[in-house]
Amino acid sequence: MKNINRGLTLFCAVLYSTWGYSLPLEKLTLPDGFKIEVYAEDVSNARQMALGKTGIVYVGSRAEGKVHAVVDTDKDGTADKVVVVAENLTMPSGIAYKNGDLYVAAVSEVLKFENIDEVYANSPKGEVVISGLPTETHHGWKYIDFGPDGWLYVPVGAPCNICQTEGDGKFDDPRFASILKFDLASGEMKWVAKGVRNTVGFDWQPDSKELWFSDNGRDWMGDDLPPCEINRVSADDQHFGYPYIHAGDINDPEFGAGKNPDDYTKPELKLGAHVAPLGVHFYQGGQFPAEYNKSLFVAEHGSWNRTEKSGYKVMRANFNGNEIGTYETFIEGFLNPDDTVWGRPVAFLVLPDGSMLISDDFANAIYKVTYQK
């Protein structure tokens, strides 16, 4: 049955992305007053997004090796042109925009495309600004962004499902399973967090400026273990447990012997096992109702090795002061009742009018969420 469902899922993806079948947005449910529509289609393997100064949305990909520019030429609120900016890159999933330049993370290096808004349609050549990162592609794709301190934050995922990355002959590189940051002017690198298996999304809390990030739990501990995580970096030299401790209190069966969970930083929120949280975003736009201001949106990309699929939703964490209060569904319906899938949310981008874009690397699309009283 699982093979049949997997085949149906892949077949649906081909129908939607290759032969132009309409995406079934009518299956999606949102809170009252919210509307979701397609902002752009045919954006192959759409992952992280960044907004240029002229309104162009730049989009990375993991599987296609391409970076796209998504353009709303007639300014009607929906994109009408998709242009390949760069191609033949290694998993250029993560992108960031600053001072007119586009930064693209391609596993072992970060490239800068200068004055991208003027040259995006002319096959520009990128300049390498960070090199020498690990070349392993397992969890090698990245989410990047510039922090409030002006440094470029770059995670390096674990090169495996579960393994040691210090003192192990095969993967002896302390940069694995961590979040780093770089001062591009000086080339200086600093550690932000360690013991992070695979984060593909982070954001800064607007008031405290603390970094919050998602982390994907390890596989092959069963359907319900370990929980995926939402974490907060609140001090220097924090270690979040991988590969020894999962979700704050679960000793790994291979590497956790003799390790004390209290020696590691616990998650702010435990999610479902295998829901695969990717993008996270603190909403600060002016369009959604006031109670949504500074809520943390989480894209649960969805499980791949669970008996019954989980995730495939957009969630919203609400806060009581500095602590998470409730965690509730914001968008669901990407997962069909027969356990097949037609979409997988990845990352967020808020436009100047307060509407929110959501990328989908399975349906090769970008959605736009708006609110009207």
CA–CA separation, 45 vs 127, rounded Å?
24
Contact between 46 and 24 (Cβ < 8 Å)? no
- pLDDT by residue for the chain (373 residues), tens digit each? 344 444 444 444 444 544 445 899 999 999 999 999 999 999 999 999 999 999 999 999 999 999 999 999 999 999 999 999 999 999 999 999 999 999 999 999 999 999 999 999 999 999 999 999 999 999 999 999 999 999 999 999 999 999 988 766 678 899 999 999 999 999 999 999 999 999 999 999 999 999 999 999 999 999 999 999 999 999 999 999 999 999 999 999 999 999 999 999 999 999 999 999 999 999 999 999 999 999 999 999 999 989 999 999 999 999 998 899 999 999 999 999 999 999 999 999 999 999 999 999 999 999 999 999 8
pTM metric for this prediction: 0.94
Instruction: Kindly report the number of other CB atoms within 10 A of residue 198's CB atom.
Output: 23
Q: Cα–Cα distances in Å, from 43 out to 39, 80, 138, 187, 361? A: 10, 11, 23, 33, 8
List the domains of the chain with CATH numbers: 2-345+357-371 (2.120.10.30)
Contact between 59 and 78 (Cβ < 8 Å)? no
Tokens (6 digits) for 30 = 């949102």
Contact between 241 and 264 (Cβ < 8 Å)? yes
Instruction: Kindly report the number of other CB atoms within 10 A of residue 184's CB atom.
Output: 16
Contacts of 152 (CB under 8 A, 6+ apart): 96, 103, 110, 130, 144, 145, 146, 181, 182, 184
